[in-house]
């Protein structure tokens, strides 16, 4: 009796395997996103403070409308318009900011702020062993860099211009030939300017750099005292707009009795 079982033919398909769905695409997209986030974080860690603050400011206010509802800046420069009447408030805010420096207790006696007719004068006073600059050197020390950068971050938010001064005591400089207190005081003021403009101040914010040598002693009775060696940063007053005299405020109509230009007035 012949075999009546059906003949089954099995055909194998070549090439790729069966369909696995799109889950791998989701996983790959997550991986690429994570790598991009990692690269952004690494980039931010190596950027300057202004760039970090700008990026942070964007995420806090992407629409850029916060300034229409009030200032988004905090700290010494919150008011943004520092006139002569605002200097006491600026002084108070700067003192609060400086008090947060890690080694503030060691340097607090070397920082003085006074309000003068020119503006707010911030003075960094030296000691016998040097506090903000090494003795006889124009390069800022670690303490000097830290404090100058803090001031730059705060003062860079202001529209006010700054003056930076360098002062020495009356002891003759003996570091090298053809270099004296005039050069040292000027070089220190310029070094402070470069450091502050590099990280905080606008490029056009410093209007003057002055070197006075020992011509403006802080303690004239003690010309060799170390506190005469100092750097001064002056926040210059903003000029207020002159007020219109009271008698002219409501004088909208022209004077019809006034003579024309060049015509003598009749008696």
Cα Rg for the chain, rounded, in angstroms?
Answer: 34
| Structural domain boundaries in the chain | 24-57, 84-236
Q: What is the pLDDT of residues 61-101, one digit of tens each?
A: 665 544 433 344 444 444 455 788 899 999 999 999 999 88
**CATH class of the domain comprising 84-236:** alpha beta
pLDDT surpassing 50 at residue 245: no
Q: Residue 81 belongs to what H/E stretch? A: none
Write out pLDDT tens, residues 133-165.
Answer: 988 899 999 999 999 999 999 999 999 999 999
Average per-residue pLDDT for the chain:
80
Q: What percent of the chain has pLDDT over 70?
A: 71
This prediction's pTM: 0.61
In contact, 114 and 136? CB cutoff 8 Å: no
Distances 234 to 44, 138, 189 between C-alpha atoms, Å: 32, 20, 12
Sheet holding 119-125, edge to edge: 111-115, 119-125, 230-236, 162-167, 206-211
Arithmetic mean of pLDDT, 22-38: 86
- Which carries the bigger pLDDT value, residue 56 or residue 180? 180
Q: Which of 18-32, 38-52, 197-211, 246-260 has the highest mean pLDDT?
A: 197-211
């Amino acid at each position: 009796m012949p075999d009546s079982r059906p003949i089954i033919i099995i055909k194998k398909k070549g090439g790729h395997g069966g369909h696995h769905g799109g889950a791998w695409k989701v996983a790959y997209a997550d991986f690429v996103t994570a790598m991009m986030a990692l690269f952004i974080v690494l980039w931010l860690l190596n950027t300057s403070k202004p760039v970090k603050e700008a990026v942070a400011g964007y995420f806090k206010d992407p629409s850029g409308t916060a300034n229409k509802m009030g200032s988004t800046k905090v700290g010494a420069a919150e008011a943004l318009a520092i006139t002569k009447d605002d200097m006491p408030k600026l002084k108070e805010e700067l003192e609060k900011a400086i008090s947060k420096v890690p080694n503030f207790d060691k340097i607090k006696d070397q920082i003085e702020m006074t309000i003068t007719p020119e503006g707010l004068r911030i003075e960094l006073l030296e000691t016998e062993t040097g506090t903000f600059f090494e003795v006889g050197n124009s390069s800022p020390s670690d303490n000097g860099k830290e404090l100058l950068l803090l001031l730059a971050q705060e003062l860079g938010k202001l529209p006010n211009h700054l003056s930076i001064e360098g002062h020495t005591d009356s002891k003759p400089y003996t570091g090298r030939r053809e270099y004296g207190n005039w050069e040292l005081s000027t070089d220190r003021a310029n070094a402070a300017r470069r450091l502050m403009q590099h990280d905080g101040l606008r490029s056009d914010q410093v209007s003057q750099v002055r070197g006075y040598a020992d011509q403006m002693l802080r303690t004239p009775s003690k010309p060799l005292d170390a506190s005469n060696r100092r750097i001064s940063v002056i926040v210059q007053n903003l000029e207020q707009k002159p007020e219109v005299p009271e008698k002219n405020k409501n004088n909208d109509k022209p004077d019809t009795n006034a003579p024309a230009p060049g015509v003598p007035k009749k008696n």
